[in-house]
Structure formats: structure tokens, C-alpha cells
Structure 1
Amino acid sequence: MFIDLNSDLGESYGSWKMGNDEHILPIVSSANIACGFHAGDPLGIFNTVKKAVALNVSIGAHVAYPDLVGFGRRNMDLSAAELTADVLYQIAALDGLAKVAGSKVRYVKPHGALYNTIAHDPKQAAAVIDAIQSYDQSLILVALAGSPLIQQARQAGLSVVAEAFADRAYHADGRLVSRRLEGAVLHDAEVVAKRVVSMLQEGGVPSIEGTFTPILADSICLHGDTAGALQMANAIKSELLQHHINIRAFAQATEVN
């Protein structure tokens, strides 16, 4: 049994630092690298790309709404044409840097508000799907486990990987608990590590309402910008290996299969 571990990286901007890229990269198998719309500057993004290549970590475009001030966490009502162009621009920019570094973008994971919106909004989802297919139909879309987006993208011909979050609380219906609510983000490394194993071995976790929530995921996101992120990432890796669950990038697994 194996699972992919991914993390949002390359999000520092100038003198403003975000995350623990250097320490998280050796732990994960896939790197969701910012493309400059919600975070990241060209030099920082390129450095993260080169480190990912050196560690044989799969590179994904972490595309977002054009919202640097809000860190991509504010909803935007963009036209389909505008959103498609924005996503296409971001994928192409990151892929260009990856090419120079000797690799390529293998998947796309939307960020923040865009991620949550397209999970349930078919119109904006269609715009993102169109951008991905216009650039490279072999790219894999990472989507919220259990969301309608998964079926919509697959019907459109995209390969999709279902994703769960190690340190986020879930509602009984599978939605993520809003960060504005208490208990939305979990900080106990031991608890989070056991929840990840529960997702994989039992097919779900307890919801914030107290009931069991089914979650079938092929990739687990480790946030690198939360308190104790590095300790949590190490705890998750250790717990997985103790249960004989190997860590491998889903993109590499797809190529093997």
C-alpha cells in the first residue's frame, strides 16, 4: 500500500517568508508550487522548483485567483474566459521554470478559495478544466475527496486524484470546516498522524459533528504554514511507515501503471 503526501510550497514573497520548504520537501512526494497569483515571487518559485527536482519530488501547479493581498482565500466572481486564461497563464509559467530545471509540471492543484469553489461550482470548475486540457491533457487534477468536481473532471476526460487534508476538520457531509470556525485546523501531531492512517485503513475520520465521515483519498495534504507543521509532517511519515504504508507520488505511480 502507498499514499502520496503533498504540500503547498514556494509561497514566500520577497522578504515575507511562508512555510518550511527546505524541511518539508524531503518528506513529501509531491510539491504544490505557487504560481505567483496568491503567493510566491519568480526567484523563490524557481528555487523551490529546483529543490523539488533535486529530491525527485513531483511538481504541481498550485493555481489560484489573482489575490496576493488575500492569499487567494477570497472568493472571486470571474468570467469563464478570464478564469481559464488566469489558470492557463499560471500553469504555463510554472512549467517553463520546471523545464529549465530539468522537469515539468505533472499535475494541477487549485488553491484556497478557488479550490473550495470549484469543488461544488460546475461553471468555475469547467473553466479550470478547460485551462488544464488546453495546456496538456495528460495533467492530473487534484480535487477534494468526495466532491462533485471529481466526476465532472473525469467525464471531461481528465485524470483526477482525490485529496484529503491531514490537519483539517471535516463536516459530516465531507466538506472542510471553514477556517473561520474554531477547531477547523488541528495542531496535535499525534492525533493528526493517527487520523491519516484512519483515512487510509478505515476509509474516513470522525467529523466535527462527531459522526464518521467517509473519505477515500489518493493524496494527503500536509500544510507547511501552520504551527508545528514540521513536527506534524514527521509524525505522519513515521506513523505511515509503522503501518507499512509507503510514500510515493501519484504522478509517478500513474507513469508506472
Structure 2
Amino acid sequence: MERLQKVIAHAGVASRRKAEQLIVDGKVKVNGKVVTELGTKVSQNDDVEVNGVPIDKEEPVYYLLYKPRGVISSVKDDKGRKVVTDYLPEVKERIFPIGRLDYDTSGVLLLTNDGDFANQLMHPSHEVDKVYIVKTKGIPSSDHIKKLKKGISHEGEYLKAVHAKVMSTDRQKNTAIVQVILHEGKNRQVRRMFDALGFPVDKLKRERYGMIDLHGMNAGDYRSLKPHEVKQLRQLAEKNVE
């Protein structure tokens, strides 16, 4: 037996808090009867409806995809471009990406059908390390790196790296490899930060998400997350979320 709001959140219908509001507002039925009590628990055999629509109670699944460049972080694209779920054709559950990586960015992308888990990881205060490797046009100085860590205002948003360091430089080609760690996940954040400093990004890869990395994988490969990895990610996400 699980709490009703958790079942609704897991189905991807809404966040747990939104699910609680839907219950209080009388928008949820269990076995045909309106339920407004937040403590209600349901089983796999109970029929749950939200706004008159039955929810699917799939078993939760969790995957890691090594997203290639030139792929949309979505389950469908109206322009017919390749999407991340195209790389997991054998998965029958209705999975979706947790957050997104830009079209031209490669690396770690997590996918699930567990809406509650996804909402926890994407919570703005979760403080899960997202480690990026950036190839820049031009070589940032130590002052530029300090600015990344101090924070940059760009198009009305404050963008900040938790950590940043230059890994290597190529003076002949005038390029650098920089490691950047973020806790946020704002739209095109890494590219915008370097653009603001005057160093366009040539290549960008997310190398690690929490403790999840791409060890032994090639672009386009995917695998199921191990139970202990899911548990660790959940603990990271819950650490700073009330």
C-alpha cells in the first residue's frame, strides 16, 4: 500500500505537492469515489482517476543513456529529429528524460517513468553535482574561472558554477578544456556562462550526474540503473528538499 499522492506523482501526472492539492480539491477518485483525505493509501489493484482520467501504475524503471550530440532530449519531436527515447527501443514503459541536455551536448542523461523521482532530482535546492567537460574557443584566465564560481548575470538570470578549473590548454589551436560543476540546470547554462565571458563553447559533455558516470559506455549506449544507484540518487535529492 502506498500513499495516494505518491502513486499520482509516480505516474508522472503531477509533483507530490500538486497531487496533494488535486486530492484536497476533490479531483481524484479511487474505485469511482472522490477521495479528499491525504492519508489515503491505495494498492496496485485500486483504480485511480485524476480529473476523470485513469492513471497507469507501471513498475518504476530507471535508465542511464550516453546521449550523443545531435539528439533532442524529448520523447518526440514535431520536426522529425532523433529523440533520446529512440535509443531505448526495447523499453516498453513510458519513460521520459529527467531534465535535458541541449541538442549539441552529449553525456549523462537519466530517464525514468517515475515522476516523483524526477521531480525530486530536478528540485532547485537538491544540490546534486552535475559535472561538465567544456572545450572552449580561447583560453580562459584564472580571473575568468573565478567569475564562473562567483556568478555571472546573463539575460536577467544569475548563473553560477559550484566549481570550475582549466584541465588543459592548446596554445597553438587557442583552445582549452575546462571542468565545470553545477547544481542548477538552467537552460543552456554552461554555454551562456562562457559566451558571457567571451569564450564560445566548441564541445560540451556532461560527464557525471551525482555519482553516475559513463564508465565503459559509448555514445548511444544505455543501461538500467542499479538499485543502489537509484537509492543513492534518491538520498541526494532528498537531502536538501523539505
Q: TM-score, normalised by structure 1?
A: 0.27
Question: 1 or 2, which has the higher strand percentage?
Answer: 2
Structure possessing the higher radius of gyration over alpha carbons: 2
Q: TM-score, normalised by structure 2?
A: 0.29
